[in-house]
Amino acid sequence: MADLNLQTHVAHFTNPLYLESGRIIEPYDIIYETYGVMNEDKSNVIVVAHALTGSHHAAGTYEDESKPGWWDGLIGSSKAIDTDKFFVICTNVIGSCFGSTGPMSLQRGSSEHYRYKFPVVTIKDMVKAQRILFDQLGIHKVHAIVGGSMGGMQALQFAVHYPNFAKKIVSLASTYATQPWAIAFNKVAQESILNDAEFKHGYYKSEDLSENGLNGMAVGRMAGHISFLSHESMNRKFGREYKRDDGLYELFGKFQVESYLEYNGKNFTKWFDPLAYLYITKAINIYDLSRGFDSLDEALARLKSELYLVSFSGDLLFQPQEMQVLKDRLDEQAYMACDYLEVESDYGHDAFLVELEKFDTYIRSALEE
């Protein structure tokens, strides 16, 4: 069994990144991890794209970590995305907070953070920045792009805008355009951040937040966690169990589900930046494959990659019927290279991160020549 060969790199770009809005980011960094070894003709590259709060750290475990990267069960030697065969790249998206340029980066030639001066970025912008990085690495075509949730949006956006770039596109737990249900949850999180006095209208000091985090973001994240789960997974995980049995006597007794939300909300604020949350949820909200085209059909008419769509039956955030829309449109266009799998799951949206055993075989065979 070959080593994962986990490497972290930062690429620095001095040319401006022209954004969909007409604005630019200049200069900018992209941090990324690679796993496995690139073959000589660079034909074994797989791009993995992360979700809202994910990062370039998709697999492997650093010395100071207790948990591995977010898709470690899928990426590695002999795993579905087999690093014995493939050279895997995962970049942190533009606008995020793990090393790629985002709203808390310093403005050019200044010691000031961008904060709200950072331009709105879109999924298309995230993809474009990756494409420029890959070009610089001499990678002009890849074997596949794989991602879930916002990562699945990136995979689809790649397919539409760079139709010759990826042979295979695997998009999980995602959609062709963000629907109001998802926008609504993002709205609650955004407003909760904005309403926290400690957010200081965007002029918080990161150091001040590093200890206790931003409660407003914790509350917003709690709402997010509701959208990642399902009635079934909540019932199974929590039911009506009390963590402390003080229901009748104290106003703030704790059901297990409340403890779960509290813990995850609070913990989240220790490792994610509030402005990055605002910018990335914005990118998700305005994601729409048809933007710039007369219709979704026109956008999809550009496709050349093999498309593998995976949805999860219990996903309330990006519902199976949204993927079905894509499949139906492509069927109407007699596009043969699209395969669609709806995975039976009652884990909700989280399934793409936790029920790997239900789709890793599917991904493995999708990636086969």
What residues line the site for a copy of itself (CB under 8 A)?
20-21, 116, 120, 122, 177-181, 183-185, 187-188, 190-192, 195-197, 215-216, 218-219, 222-223, 225-226, 229, 231, 234-235, 237-240, 247-253, 255-258, 261-262, 265, 278-279, 282, 285-286, 288, 316, 319
Is residue 349 part of the annotated active site? The answer reads: yes
CB of 86 to a copy of itself, least distance (A): 35
- Quick one: CA dihedral 17, 23, 29, 33, positive or negative? negative
How far apart CA 97 and CA 104 sit, in angstroms, is: 7
Measured from the CB atom, the residue of 118 and 162 that comes closer to a copy of itself is 118
Among residues 214, 217, 259, 220, the alpha carbon closest in space to that of 238 is found at 259
**Residue 101 C-beta: closest distance to a copy of itself, Å:** 16
Annotated active-site residue 315? The verdict is yes
Catalytic pick from 82, 288, 315, 350? 315
Between 238 and 362, name the residue whose CB sits nearer to a copy of itself.
Answer: 238
Q: Which residue in the list 105, 149, 171, 233 is annotated as catalytic?
A: 149
Q: In sequence order, what are the beta bridge partners of 113?
A: 106
Catalytic residue at 360? no
CB of 318 to a copy of itself, least distance (A): 11
Least separation in angstroms between residue 10's CB and a copy of itself is 26
CA distances (Å), origin 51, targets 57, 259, 330: 12, 24, 25
**CA–CA gap between residue 217 and residue 129 (Å, rounded):** 27
CA nearest 88: which of 57, 123, 121, 45?
45
For residue 336, what are its two tokens?
Answer: 């043969």
Residue 78 CB, shortest distance to a copy of itself, in Å, is 38
Nearer to a copy of itself, 16 or 141 (CB): 16
> Dihedral through CA 128, CA 134, CA 138, CA 143, nearest 10?
-110
Reading the block at residue 68, the tokens are 């591995």
222 or 300: CB nearest a copy of itself? 222
Q: Which residues are catalytic, by number?
A: 149, 315, 349
